[in-house]
Amino acid sequence: MTGDTPFRSRRALVTGGAGFLGSHLCERLLYAGAEVDCADNLACGRRANVEHLEGRPGFEFVRCDVSAPDCPAQLPSPYDLVLHFACPASPADYLRLPLETLDVGSLGTRNTLAIAERDGARFLLASTSEVYGDPLVHPQHEGYWGNVNPIGPRSVYDESKRFAEALVTAHAGTRGTNAGIVRLFNTYGPRMRAHDGRAVPTFICQALAGEPVTVTGDGTQTRSLCYVDDTVDGVLRVAASKSVRPVNIGGSDEITMAHLARRVVALTGSRSPIAFIDRPVDDPSRRQPDTTLARELLGWSPQVPWEEGLRQTIAYFAAQPRN
């Protein structure tokens, strides 16, 4: 865990708080002196991610569905910060839970905005680089509208986030809600699930098991990895700002999936071969954020080199019991 916590919250609500990224946000806020309500229905999150926080003064786990009509009543504490991070984020999850994914972007965002409005809290939506689709502009800046297939297999996630962004913007414009949006690019690190379908945990677990490391397509598609500590720092800097417009938070180094797979094999000391499999429909060909706004507005830039982050993530998975 690195960095300071720019937002000096007294009491924070983190939806999706038992998920990979949400649990790190809960931890950082709690260690900074905030009281934290971690709300999660455990559809994708894991109670184990926050077990080390339970029992600490100021931390409470609340099992609830933020898309349910009674969500605001289940979360009655007055908050000064609402971080809406509840949503299936991996393709395996949102393809398994398509309607739930759309609900959390629509109903869940309405409910959590209502909580923020009720309490006069700062609200922050976790959006995604997927709102850019398979981009025709590179690197992707916040003013780019995207190239998204609204009825493709990935649309339940992409359009859920795009609608959530529109909802947050409308709330801020018509009701004066203190609301912002952060667009996250390929966050990785400890507490990712081994089989959630994303490249980093998939490659690492395959390499540690000595299995073929499966790269989709020809492996030339790119991503820009951002270690979780850097992402958390960026998120909380956006929370501490007054920004209403979306802000990109992501890594600065664009790497191909084939190169990532080879580095994982090397860093794990594995002898796993690289195997190429079919590429998913609408899989973006390139992904790299333009983080000029985050740097100029917030003084933020990623500090953890992606290979160092990989080493820490590999160490986490290597320490997990194998089934």
Give pLDDT tens digits for 262-281: 999 999 999 999 999 999 99
User: Is the peptide bond between 139 and the residue preceding it cis, with omega within 30 degrees of 0?
Assistant: yes
Query: Span 239-268, mean pLDDT?
Result: 96
323: nearest Cα among 196, 204, 195 = 195
- Kindly state the DSSP code that residue 124 receives in the 8-state scheme: E
Whether 227 is a known active-site residue: answer no
Reduced to 3 states, what is the DSSP secondary structure of residue 29?
helix
Reduced to 3 states, what is the DSSP secondary structure of residue 212?
coil
Say what the pTM is: 0.96
CB 178 within 8 A of CB 243: no
pLDDT in tens, 121-155: 999 999 999 999 999 999 999 999 999 999 999 99
Q: How far apart are CA 200 and CA 255, in angstroms?
A: 12
List, in order, residues 6 or more apart from 133 with CB less than 8 Å away: 146, 147, 148, 149, 158, 282, 284
Q: What mean pLDDT, rounded, does the chain reach?
A: 95
Reduced to 3 states, what is the DSSP secondary structure of residue 148?
coil
pLDDT in tens, 181-224: 999 999 999 999 998 889 999 999 999 999 999 999 999 999 99
Helix axes 98-119, 155-175, angle to 10 degrees: 20
Q: Find the catalytic residue in 157, 188, 227, 316.
A: 157
Q: How far apart are CA 122 and CA 82, in angstroms?
A: 6
CB 181 within 8 A of CB 314: no
Helical ranges in the chain per DSSP H = 20-31, 71-74, 91-96, 98-119, 155-175, 199-208, 228-240, 257-268, 292-298, 306-318
Domain 11-189+225-252+288-304: which topology?
Answer: Rossmann fold (3.40.50)
Q: Residue 28: its pLDDT value, please?
A: 97
Reduced to 3 states, what is the DSSP secondary structure of residue 135?
coil
CB 87 within 8 A of CB 109: no
Reduced to 3 states, what is the DSSP secondary structure of residue 194?
coil
Q: Output helix, strand, coil percentages for the chain, rounded to the nearest 5.
A: 40, 20, 40
Q: Are strands 254-256 and 222-224 parallel, antiparallel or unpaired?
A: antiparallel
- Burial code (b: 16+ CB inside 10 Å, e: under 16) for 146-177 equals bebeeeeebbbbbbbbbebbebbbebbeeeeb
pLDDT in tens, 1-26: 445 666 677 999 999 999 999 999 99
Query: Span 220-229, mean pLDDT?
Result: 97
53: nearest Cα among 81, 78, 29 = 29
181 to 66, 129, 242, 257: CA distances (angstroms): 18, 12, 11, 28
Q: How far apart are CA 257 and CA 199, in angstroms?
A: 8
Reduced to 3 states, what is the DSSP secondary structure of residue 17?
coil
